[in-house]
Structure 1
Amino acid sequence: MRAPLVEVREKVLGFRSDVEMSLSELECGLRDRNVASEARGVFELLIDASRVLAKKLIKELHSVPVDGSNGDLHTGENSHLSNGVSKQHSKNGKDLRETQSMLLERIASEMNRLKFYFAHAKDLPFIDNMEKRIQNASSLLDTSLGHCFVDGLTHQDENAVYNCLRAYAAVDNTQNAEDIFRSTVVAPLVQKVIPYSSSGVELHSVPVDGSNGDLHTGENSHLSNGVSKQHSKNGKDLRETQSMLLERIASEMNRLKFYFAHAKDLPFIDNMEKRIQNASSLLDTSLGHCFVDGLTHQDENAVYSCLCAYAAVDNTQNAEDIFRSTVVAPLVQKVIPYSSSGMVSGSAGDELEEDYKQIKHLIAQDCTFLLQISSTENSGFHVFSFLANSILKEVLCAIQHGKPGAFSPGRPTEFLKNYKSSLGFLADLEGYCPSRSAVANFRAEAVYVDFMKQWNIGVYFSLTFQEIAGSLDSALVGSKLAPIQKSDSEHGLTLKQSLTLLECLKSCWREDVLLISISDRFLRLTLQLISRYVNWLSAGLFARKTRNAGSNSPFEWAVSAAPDDLVYVIHDLDHLAADVCGNFIGHVFEILKSCSTEEVDLVKDSILQGGKSLKDLVPSVIDSIIDTLAEKCGEEVQLLRGIVAAYRMTNKPPPVRHSHYVSGVLHPLQVFLDGERVTTYLTEDTKGKLVQGAAFKITGRYYELAADTVTTVRKTETTLQRLRDGVRERKGASSDASGHNVIETDNICMQLFLDIQEYGRNLATLGVEAARIPSYTSLWHLVAPQDRQTEIRF
């Protein structure tokens, strides 16, 4: 019994589950039906309200109040129009147009909403009955909106036109707005320039001989057909009229583009874009022909109006290109011919100076006309850059294609000449600028920057640096000093190396080498040249002092140089230092006179420092000469050792005169001082320093050798005395030998005393006071008798 009951129970539960599911679906369907029914009711109410409101607004359109006292059109309340509009319109037409346009915009918005509801409810049964009524309301709206739009355009009422455009956009009826603008504004203006009959047959007033529209060919485009007769009678008036009309059209086109830009998010704007582009292209073509005609006949009024038109539509590039192709290019090609392919069609070298002179003359003759117009005060023509984008651009193109070698720094002389000529040409162009700001704008133009980049002054300086520095290096690599003939020394120098340095220094600041724009580099080169010469001398003197130079050493010249050769070095150092700190620095100041005082002071300090480094080398050269002379004189001093042999173990009587070697001690110094080079090239001050230094050094060596000799003699005397004393004690010998040794030592000291007296007299003949030499005083006290110790007297 239980099994069948369980089975029935399971079936009942399954059926119950199905019923509950069906019930749930049915309840959901009923809820959706109720929601749809409520939405339909609301939708029908909205449609009815929109229909009634649109009908009421259209009906009340002609009774808009003029005073606008209840003019809050966005609240929908108190917006009724009163009678007598015609009387008030004459008093306050602007307010009426704005009020009407705002009302029409609101009606258009409601109409657009009504059409939206109509489109989404087209399947409802009552909609078909409303279609004709909606069409009638739409037609009435279009008519009213058209009248308001025409009125706004006629009176150039910006607010009214703006509201009308929003209304047209709301009802998606852009074609009506475009057609009304065309028939009301554009057509009358265009017909004044390009007359045509109502049948649509155009009476062309713009030539078609340039059918490709290439305004850059420079060909004159005169008006033809119906206008040609009028042009022949009164061409100037025709050009002026055309240019004024084109200026007006350009102004309207600019305004149209302004509206277009501010309404670009509206749906009908995309449909107008192509038509606006076509109109703009037609305007550019007509304006181009008129501008060419004005330039050809130098019609100031026509050109002025055309420039105003170009400025209005912000198309300055076309004006600059037309001026370049029509006026500038033919002039420049007369001077620098070149083909369009870029191949040189005829050129006489790469010099630009004469070419620039001719171009400047032609610019003054044929281009001043436009340049003066474009620089008119308060004209707004500052947006044009005919100097850069027309004249300079064409000249740059001509040089690049006709004379490309002019930009090559491989020939530094020609390059510098062309570069300076180009700077002069740019300065001449800047003379046409009416103000400093115009000059700054001209220099900031891309063409100007590109023109300056063509001149690679960095490479030019590198080549000049190699040439100047290389010539000095070539002069300094010799194995000996190279004296020059007096007839060849225009600067008073005696060595080729020194003359080369001075010539290199002057080359850095020569007019045909220097570039003021990189004068800092030439100053650095100047200081490097001086430093190179100073290092060459310093290293040579050091090698001479240390004897550290082989046969192939770069300092062989210093080791092999005689004292007389070093006289040349002293003379040249003095002369170079004086010239660098005198005439040379004055020449540099004259070149840099346009620089600030602070900059000139810095240049002065650095050049003076270079001159000082030359002057500071003179003592080192003098010391080198002194060392050489002292060494030669010291060879004679060595002979004093023979005095010991002359008196040791001999019965030679005491000396009464000086030794023979004394007269030869200062002989090398005397010969040097009496030489032609010393008397010719050394100043008295330098000679005095040299003699004093040599005397001190020679006397010092004299003292060292004499002191060593006396010390040795006395030590020997002491040793012999001890030996003799020992022998005497052992054998009882007499003391006569001891007295003999004392006599020998005294004789040696006396001979040395007589020698140094003669040496002192020889020093006096050279102008040296021996008593002032410390080593001589020590030598005197060493060998002088006791009664002569206190006073040095010969």
Structure 2
Amino acid sequence: MSKELELYSLPEAPKNLCFEKTEFSKKIFSADHFLQSHRKKANLENLRDDLGVYLKVLRSAMIDLINKDYVDFVNLSTNLIGLDRAISNIQVPLGQLKEEVLQVQSALEETRAEVRGLLESRARLQEQRRALRSLAAAQRLLGALSALLVPCPSGEFPALLERAALQFNELQFHTSRCGDLLAASHAQQAEQASSRLLSGLNAVFLDGARQRDAPGMKRCLRIYLSLGRADVAEELLRREVVSPAMQDVVCEASLRADPGGLRGLYARVLAFVDDHMGELLELTAHPDRSVAVSGFDFLTNSFWVEVEERLERDLTSVVAFGIPEVFHQNYCETADFLEKLEAHFRTREELLAFRQHPQYKAFLDHWNLTVYFPIRWKEIVSCVETALAEGRRLAQGSQFNLLSSTVAWESLERCWARGVFLPLLANRFWKLSLMIISRYCTWISEVLEQGQSAGSEADGGAATDRLQFLVHLHGDVLLFADKLPDFGALALRQLPAVSEGTLAKLRESLEDSGRQLAGRVPAVTQCILGEVSRDSLAQLRQVGDIPRLFRRTNRDAPSRPCAYVAAVLAVPLAFHAAQRGAVPPDTLREWLRLVFSAVTGRYHSAVGDVLTSVQRTEESLRRLKKARDRSSGAAPPGDARGPGDDDKIRLQLALDVTSYCEGVESVGLKREEVTNLVELLELVRAAQTRNDAKS
């Protein structure tokens, strides 16, 4: 508890309250938060009562506090009597003391200003003395440099350059301290000395670079570093060595003449590094810093800068994206060139500096990948949409049945094909892959909806074609979903280095697409079952016409099933014969089981309705006949007559159901597997048994 809470502590609350007294002592108290946190502990009525109880405790504590300190409040006014007179008595001495302090402060400020002025004057004198000494030294060094930099035998000149560099550095130090004392003529002489020194140093360095004289180049590089002019050496090598060599290599004519194309041109560019810059890079980029002359970056500032400018200026056709296949090939060959160039850097620091170089970034930006991807996107999406528009066309020579499925899968693979995919566009190609899968799923839903609306109006041939299309679609969807994990593994292997968390999210997105696709399988199955069972269900309406065939027609007892039974079985049996070699046996068996279960359920209902109607009619006729016999007093006739109309109806239903059951079993199904089939057989047999018992 803080000191503030200890000083102003609240009175103790009864222990049976639903809240603690410390909640009201928090620095930030919110009534809304208080009610929210206590709504589960007590209802509003109890909370109101507890707050009222604690309010009474607070009021009582406040009264006790006032009574306790009342004497102190009264004595306070007594203690303040005469305080004004005491304050007036000390005002005058305090004023005098203030004046004395101000006088002392003023005297100290004047003394300090005087001392500061003397010190500044002394410092100026010392500075002038140093400047005069530096001026004398500068004049001496100018004379010495003039003597050293006169023409001399080439063998002695490099050694003289080292001495001249040391004296020139000393000259720069002294001239920087001369200030205004240095005459214009002296400054001009120093500039001329610098120019002659760098000119001679450049000549020696170029001669060593061309002759691959490592000791000579190393001596020159150290002189450049001592002068602080490493940039001069880098620019000199670029202008006098790299540029002339690259002039005939990096150009359109060289590209057209090279049998290896762009790859061959890049090989010649890299060969220059190995053939003409190997010793220099060994001197400046050796991993062992004690051996290397550090401070130079010839590979970036001399070689790469020149090559990049010529690539951008003289090889514009390489980055043209009019033909995406050529652009992709050029990009991949350029990426391979950069990878091989980066292998020449000996240290990680130099490699990072190269990648951060402005011209490196500008070169990458010159490859307009934001234009390349839309071109590929349009190509791939157009192929998918065209194939989906011709949805019922069959594929030729493909593992898929339909052209739409084949093109959708090939478009997925094309996103990650060697001639299309680029690592820098991995995120976009991944999104495009998910879009293709989603579009394929949407198309499946669309063709199923269109088929349902047109199914009732289709003739026999159209219905058969649609059924065959649905079977092909079912197989394609299953195959597509089964192949997605392998496709995902192939695509993820081509991604650049990413974290495990990113890989997990990518796998999850592909799995979601796979579940979305697999979710279309039940809908396709239902459409297949609907197409197969539609005509059979329609034929079952003839079951209700059986009583009219025998009532008051004096027909003979039936001996064979009605024609509608064959019509009911026709489409399922034809479907079984057509798909027996095209669909997996287990799948076809399950489809037929579901079809016959649906048909049998409707058949059972229709037969039950007929038997119920027949029984009711029979009961009504029997009661009517008994009533007539009682009124006439005649004896009931014997049972010698043949089977009645109701018996013929029951017999016909039994024949029909038995024939239907034989048709179901002809496709390899057992009657126990088909829902309601056993019950249907029992229904007609029980009806015959009850009738025989009554007879």
**TM-score computed with the length of structure 1 as normaliser:** 0.63
- Return the offset for 1:398: 0.7
Query: Which whole-Å deviations, capped at 9, do the CAs of 1:221-259 have from their partners, x for residues lacking one?
Result: xxxxx43xx23xx3xx42x225423542464366458xx
Q: Is this contact kept in 2: 1:247–1:306, CA < 8 A?
A: no
**Whole-angstrom distance in 2 between the partners of 1:250 and 1:494:** 85
Q: Trace 1:155-304 onto structure 2 (pairs within 5 A).
A: 167=125, 169-170=127-128, 174=131, 176-192=132-148, 194-195=149-150, 226-227=151-152, 230-231=153-154, 234=155, 237-238=156-157, 240-249=158-167, 251-252=169-170, 255=173, 260=176, 269=179, 272=182, 279=190, 282-283=193-194, 286-298=197-209, 299-304=213-218
Q: Is this contact kept in 1: 2:135–2:174, CA < 8 A?
A: no
**Whole-angstrom distance in 2 between the partners of 1:739 and 1:310:** 137
- Return the offset for 1:656: 4.7
**Whole-angstrom distance in 1 between the partners of 2:385 and 2:232:** 57
**Whole-angstrom distance in 2 between the partners of 1:565 and 1:671:** 15
Q: Secondary structure at the match of 2:256?
A: coil
Q: Is this contact kept in 2: 1:294–1:302, CA < 8 A?
A: yes
Question: Kindly tell me: are residues 779 and 601 of structure 1, through their superposed partners in 2, closer, same or farther at Cα, counting changes over 3 Å?
Answer: same
Q: Is this contact kept in 2: 1:250–1:312, CA < 8 A?
A: no
Q: Is this contact kept in 2: 1:385–1:442, CA < 8 A?
A: no
Question: Kindly tell me: are residues 641 and 185 of structure 1, through their superposed partners in 2, closer, same or farther at Cα, counting changes over 3 Å?
Answer: same
- Return the offset for 1:386: 2.2
Structure 2 letter corresponding to 1:397: E
**Whole-angstrom distance in 1 between the partners of 2:253 and 2:188:** 40
Q: Secondary structure at the match of 1:252?
A: helix
Query: Which whole-Å deviations, capped at 9, do the CAs of 1:531-566 have from their partners, x for residues lacking one?
Result: 211221122113323449999xxxxx9989421222
**Whole-angstrom distance in 2 between the partners of 1:285 and 1:740:** 145
**Pairwise CA RMSD:** 4.1
Partner residue of 1:357? Answer: 267
**Whole-angstrom distance in 1 between the partners of 2:193 and 2:640:** 138
Partner residue of 1:135? Answer: none
**Whole-angstrom distance in 2 between the partners of 1:356 and 1:273:** 54
**Whole-angstrom distance in 2 between the partners of 1:674 and 1:762:** 13
Question: Kindly tell me: are residues 735 and 282 of structure 1, through their superposed partners in 2, closer, same or farther at Cα, counting changes over 3 Å?
Answer: farther
- Return the offset for 1:763: 1.1
**Whole-angstrom distance in 1 between the partners of 2:381 and 2:470:** 24
Q: Secondary structure at the match of 1:661?
A: helix
Partner residue of 2:289? Answer: 378
Q: Give the stretch that moved more between structures: 304-313 or 754-763.
A: 304-313
Query: Which whole-Å deviations, capped at 9, do the CAs of 1:106-138 have from their partners, x for residues lacking one?
Result: 9xx89968xxxxxxxxxxxxxxxxxxxxxxxxx
Query: Which whole-Å deviations, capped at 9, do the CAs of 1:705-738 have from their partners, x for residues lacking one?
Result: 3334344445555677788788889988998899
Structure 2 letter corresponding to 1:321: E
Unaligned residue ranges in structure 2 (runs of 5+):
1-113, 691-695
Q: Is this contact kept in 2: 1:442–1:448, CA < 8 A?
A: yes
Mapped pair 1:663 → 2:663: no
Partner residue of 1:528? Answer: 435
Unaligned residue ranges in structure 1 (runs of 5+):
1-45, 47-73, 76-105, 114-162, 196-225, 338-343, 552-556, 790-794
Q: Trace 1:294-693 onto structure 2 (pairs within 5 A).
A: 294-298=205-209, 299-337=213-251, 348=256, 352-376=262-286, 377-378=288-289, 382-478=294-390, 480-485=391-396, 489=397, 491-547=398-454, 561-582=465-486, 584-588=487-491, 590-592=493-495, 602-675=505-578, 678-693=579-594
Q: Secondary structure at the match of 2:563?
A: coil
Question: Kindly tell me: are residues 290 and 781 of structure 1, through their superposed partners in 2, closer, same or farther at Cα, counting changes over 3 Å?
Answer: same
**Whole-angstrom distance in 1 between the partners of 2:660 and 2:192:** 110
Question: Kindly tell me: are residues 776 and 560 of structure 1, through their superposed partners in 2, closer, same or farther at Cα, counting changes over 3 Å?
Answer: closer
**Whole-angstrom distance in 2 between the partners of 1:276 and 1:559:** 102
**Whole-angstrom distance in 2 between the partners of 1:273 and 1:618:** 95
**TM-score computed with the length of structure 2 as normaliser:** 0.71
Structure 2 letter corresponding to 1:673: H
Structure 2 letter corresponding to 1:499: T
Question: Kindly tell me: are residues 297 and 179 of structure 1, through their superposed partners in 2, closer, same or farther at Cα, counting changes over 3 Å?
Answer: same
Partner residue of 2:8? Answer: none
Question: Kindly tell me: are residues 719 and 417 of structure 1, through their superposed partners in 2, closer, same or farther at Cα, counting changes over 3 Å?
Answer: same
Query: Which whole-Å deviations, capped at 9, do the CAs of 1:613-645 have from their partners, x for residues lacking one?
Result: 444433332221110110122233333233111
> Aligned residues, how many?
567
**Whole-angstrom distance in 1 between the partners of 2:462 and 2:194:** 85
**Whole-angstrom distance in 2 between the partners of 1:763 and 1:410:** 63
**Whole-angstrom distance in 2 between the partners of 1:599 and 1:719:** 79
Structure 2 letter corresponding to 1:348: R
**Whole-angstrom distance in 1 between the partners of 2:591 and 2:523:** 11
Larger Rg: 1
Query: Which whole-Å deviations, capped at 9, do the CAs of 1:739-793 have from their partners, x for residues lacking one?
Result: 999953443233223321221122112122223433334534543326869xxxx
Q: Is this contact kept in 2: 1:291–1:302, CA < 8 A?
A: no
Q: Give the stretch that moved more between structures: 313-322 or 729-738.
A: 729-738
Q: Is this contact kept in 2: 1:244–1:302, CA < 8 A?
A: no
Question: Kindly tell me: are residues 297 and 778 of structure 1, through their superposed partners in 2, closer, same or farther at Cα, counting changes over 3 Å?
Answer: same
- Return the offset for 1:659: 2.6
Structure 2 letter corresponding to 1:360: L
Q: Secondary structure at the match of 1:348?
A: helix
Structure 2 letter corresponding to 1:776: L
Q: Is this contact kept in 2: 1:637–1:661, CA < 8 A?
A: yes
Which one has more relative contact order, counting CA pairs under 8 Å at least 6 apart?
A: 2
Question: Kindly tell me: are residues 470 and 247 of structure 1, through their superposed partners in 2, closer, same or farther at Cα, counting changes over 3 Å?
Answer: farther
Question: Kindly tell me: are residues 777 and 288 of structure 1, through their superposed partners in 2, closer, same or farther at Cα, counting changes over 3 Å?
Answer: farther
**Whole-angstrom distance in 1 between the partners of 2:634 and 2:420:** 96
Question: Kindly tell me: are residues 282 and 397 of structure 1, through their superposed partners in 2, closer, same or farther at Cα, counting changes over 3 Å?
Answer: farther
